[in-house]
């Protein structure tokens, strides 16, 4: 990257003018996002058929995954059956890195419980969860049948509301909608060279990789695994 192109150099006054112009666009973008969120809050909801998932204690009804809270945020983790830890989904692994105890506590303060659903068998996904050191609750949907709608575009996010014993789906996000789980991307978007992916509109000479998410894996395993002390022996 040391030989990558750089922007033109200007004095401070010109830089501040350019920054002010961009800031006006950023504020408009923020307001547009606020308006979109307002529309999202006015979406109708649809009632879920009875669903049972599996945890360490055995079968659990979907309504009990809420853990006493009114709302539930679920990430559906892609699972590669029979694959070793280093071959599991790097994108889904990336999403879970930020979902630590503190983040989940902030969600809980707004009556939101967080959980991960995965189509792998319980023993396999619990082993991966433990290997990664994650503390969020995981549940296997391997035996849930067709009660949960099929996952589209890889891992996805789904939002639920509980009213008594009834559970309703209020929202879902797929593909780039899941970027809400990836603060790394939001930070890279602030940096000069961005995500360095081929789809981005960047000036000539800016470094870029060949595809979205290609950098989530390094030296044969998801990057997040290299932070684990046991990574080299798994």
In a domain, 74, yes or no: yes
Mean pLDDT of the 203-229 span: 78
CATH number of domain containing 54: 3.40.30.10
More confident: 214 or 53: 53
Report the chain's terminal Cα–Cα distance, integer Å: 32
Tell me if residue 79 falls in helix, strand or coil.
Answer: coil
What's the pLDDT at 154? Answer: 61
Q: With pLDDT > 90 as the criterion, what percentage of the chain qualifies?
A: 70
Residue 34 lies in a domain: no
Task: Read off the pLDDT of each residue in 196-220 and give the average, rounded to a whole number.
Answer: 83
**Does the structure show a pLDDT above 60 at 24?**
yes
188 within domain boundaries: no
Residue 187 lies in a domain: no
Q: What residues have CB less than 8 Å from 64, skipping those under 6 apart?
A: none
Per-residue confidence (pLDDT) for residue 113, from 0 to 100: 98
What is the C-alpha to C-alpha distance for residues 97 and 99, in angstroms, rounded to an integer?
6
**DSSP secondary structure code for residue 67 in this structure:** T
**Domain tally, the chain:** 1
**21-30, 206-215, 221-230: least confidently modelled range:** 221-230
pLDDT for residue 97:
87
Q: State which residues form the domain around 130.
A: 46-180
The rounded mean pLDDT for the chain is 90
| Candidate ranges 2-6, 27-31, 133-137, 217-221; pick with highest mean pLDDT | 27-31
pLDDT at residue 232, rounded to an integer = 46
Residue 194 domain flag: no
pLDDT at res. 208: 85
What is the rounded distance in angstroms from the CA atom of residue 54 to the CA atom of residue 52? Answer: 7
Q: Is residue 168 part of a domain?
A: yes
Residue 58's DSSP bridge partners are 55
pLDDT digits (tens, 9 = 90+) for 127-172: 999 999 999 999 999 988 887 877 654 689 999 999 999 999 999 9
Average pLDDT on 53-65 reads 95
User: Mean pLDDT across the stretch 50-63?
Assistant: 94
Quote the pLDDT of residue 9: 97
Structure-block tokens of residue 107: 């969600």
- Any domain includes 219: no
- Spell out the residues 6+ positions from residue 26 whose beta carbon is closer than 8 angstroms to its own: none
**3-state class (DSSP) for residue 226:** helix
In a domain, 59, yes or no: yes
Which CA distances in Å does 190 have to 95, 137, 186, 203, 208?
19, 32, 7, 15, 16
Contacts for 107-111: CB closer than 8 Å, 24+ residues apart: 107/73, 108/69, 110/71, 111/69, 111/70, 111/71
pLDDT (0 to 100) of residue 230:
52
Q: Lowest mean pLDDT of 12-21, 193-202, 218-227, name the range.
A: 218-227
Beta strands in the chain (DSSP E): 46-47, 52-55, 58-61, 71-77, 112-118, 138-140, 156-163, 166-173, 217-218, 221-222
pLDDT confidence of residue 10:
97
């Amino acid at each position: 990257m040391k030989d990558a192109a750089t922007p033109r150099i200007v004095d401070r006054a010109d830089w501040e003018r350019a920054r002010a112009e961009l800031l006006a666009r950023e504020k408009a973008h923020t307001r547009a996002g606020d308006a979109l969120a307002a529309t999202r809050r006015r979406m109708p909801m649809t009632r879920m058929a009875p669903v049972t998932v599996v945890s360490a204690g055995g079968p659990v009804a979907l309504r009990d995954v809420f853990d006493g809270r009114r709302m539930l945020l679920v990430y559906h983790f892609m699972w590669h059956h029979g694959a070793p830890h280093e071959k599991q989904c790097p994108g889904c692994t990336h999403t879970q890195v930020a979902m630590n105890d503190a983040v989940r506590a902030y969600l809980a303060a707004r009556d939101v419980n967080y959980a991960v659903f995965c189509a792998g068998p319980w023993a396999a996904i619990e082993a991966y969860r433990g290997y990664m050191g994650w503390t969020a609750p995981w549940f296997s949907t391997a035996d849930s049948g067709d009660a949960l709608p099929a996952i589209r575009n890889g891992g996805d996010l789904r939002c639920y509301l509980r009213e008594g014993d009834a559970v309703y789906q209020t929202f879902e996000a797929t593909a780039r909608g899941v970027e809400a789980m990836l603060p790394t991307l939001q930070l890279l978007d602030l940096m000069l060279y961005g995500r360095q992916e081929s789809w981005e509109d960047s000036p000539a000479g800016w470094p870029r990789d060949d595809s979205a998410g290609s950098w989530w894996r390094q030296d044969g395993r998801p990057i997040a695994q290299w932070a684990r002390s046991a990574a080299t022996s798994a």
